[in-house]
Amino acid sequence: MAPDFSRYERIVATRSDCILTLTLTAPNPVNAVDGEMHHELSRIFLDAQDDTTSDLIVLTGAGRAFCAGGDTAWFKTHIENPASFRALGPEAKRIITSLLDLEKPILCRLNGAAAGLGATIALMCDVIIASEKAVVGDPHVKVGLVAGDGGAIIWPQLIGFARAKELLMTGEMLTAERALHLGLINHVVAHEQLDNKVAEVADRILANPKWAVRWTKTTANIPLRALAAQLLDAAMAYELLSNSLADRREAVAAFVEKRPPNLTGE
């Protein structure tokens, strides 16, 4: 039975021949992740794998952003009710494992800002094609959280430990050009050329025998899948712990109030 993509509320699926495009669409201007999107992200890549009519996936965002990480209002509910954050563990693991298990090539059409979990998802795609307007970073630490949902896994693999740890510990956002220079993403083009470049790369991949492509990708992802299995439980446990700290509450409050945080180290 073909997957029913119409049941998704935060992800819109469209088709063009054998290409399935998945567009993140949240009820906020930067596609920030709320509970519903988090839930859907934990299932969409399983459905993409089972979709027999597609051979290549394009992942993108609606509007001016790709995905700006967790929604602030959602953050506040987790601070007020830590059990709700704890309950996200299985979903958070499944987002990463299902994306890395996906056999079909997946291209990220990075149309705008990708932060936190949004950056993790973008960087775990096979080829990342960015608009010159895009920025990418993992500012978990800026809101008092450990980068436990995949950032500490993928960033060091792409750009090495020294650069990755600096960027993860500062929470710095990178321009598309700097991300390209570091080797974090594959291509940067003028915004109006983004669709053309995505189509060009997709066509070059699809011109090759399907199973050779899929199993080459699958083989290349074996070390990433092993690393995710090794690190995810501990990473998410540390993130859960950081959600309970006083500095976490203050960092979120300061972000909402647009002021510097008054951090105490607690």
H or E segment to which residue 20 belongs: strand 19-24
- Mean pLDDT (whole number) for 116-120: 97
- Mean pLDDT (whole number) for 220-249: 96
Enumerate the β-bridge partners of residue 43.
none
**Superfamily of domain 5-192+203-257 in the CATH hierarchy:** 2-enoyl-CoA Hydratase; Chain A, domain 1 (3.90.226.10)
Q: What's the order of all strands across the beta sheet hosting 65-67? A: 65-67, 113-115, 135-137, 173-175
Measured torsion, CA atoms of residues 173, 178, 182, 187, in degrees rounded to the nearest 10: 110
State the pLDDT confidence band at 6, using cuts at 50, 70 and 90.
very high
State the pLDDT confidence band at 225, using cuts at 50, 70 and 90.
very high
pTM value is 0.96
Residue 255, both tokens: 């972000």
Residue 111, both tokens: 């149309």
% the chain with pLDDT above 90: 94
Enumerate the β-bridge partners of residue 24.
11, 61
pLDDT tens digits, one per residue of 161-209 = 999 999 999 999 999 999 999 999 999 999 999 999 999 999 999 999 9
